[in-house]
Amino acid sequence: MLGAIVLASACGRAPQQSATDSEMPKSANAADETAPEDWDVFVQLVREQDENAIRFRSRPVSKEEFRMLLEGCDGLMVLEIDQSAISSELIHQVLTKLPGLRQLRFDGPVVESDLKWIASNLPELTVLNLPQGEFGNEGVQALSEHSKLELLRIGAPNVNNDGVRAILEIPNLRFLHLINVSIDDQVLKDIAKKNSLESFYLDGGGCSEEGLSELVKASPQLHFHWNQLHLNNDPHSHPH
């Protein structure tokens, strides 16, 4: 499921775009849960062009470790880390050196200014995963014109109906996962009208089961999960 969280360090070649978090880019040669948690090794593999993805989420990356990405890592396409020990200034400095970055996950808190920076400076992103967002509507508004973003997963209690409407302006958005956002039934009609949307997962929030059932009826093509489960009237319902 798109909400699944795997607390394991891994790196691997970035494959094709994925619809769900549990299927977030992992290749056949990606390290499994027994992989050594050695950041230096992962960075060296990227520098030698043997890998183009780093997934290192078992502990926060230190600022000294993160600085290693400043040299020889411009081929990095996938970065998934806990960045909570790194300053915004250093994050911006390093990400500027990664022009080909396609997929980004930050497990630590992300504030409004950081999301705005990401929206303005990482135009090649197709996947953005920020489960601990401290931003609000203004931050997600900055994403509304991001032409290549296809998958957005955010945990953001400060985002409300207006913020979700801004998210729906992302032109090529296909997969959306909202966690503990402050929305209600009023925004569901807007979600139903987003023709490019293939998958919508909602955990928490203030929507009613009745409102969500109407969404499923209005958008039978939409793969929808509510708190990790299907609704009873969902035509795509299957055991989990």
Give the tens place of pLDDT for each residue, 64-97: 999 999 999 999 999 999 999 999 999 999 999 9
Which of 24-38, 51-65, 146-160 shows the lowest per-residue confidence on average (mean pLDDT)? 24-38
pLDDT, tens digit, 9 for 90 and up, residues 130-149: 999 999 999 999 999 999 99
Which CATH class name applies to 109-240?
A: alpha beta
Helix (H), strand (E), coil (C) string for 125-181: CCEEEECCECCCHHHHHCCCCCCCCCEEEEECCCCEHHHHHHHCCCCCCCEEEEECC
Q: Where are the domains of the chain?
A: 1-108, 109-240
Q: What is the pLDDT of residue 227?
A: 87
**Mean pLDDT for all residues in the chain:** 85
What does DSSP assign to residue 71?
S
| pTM summary value | 0.83
CA distance 99 to 93: 12
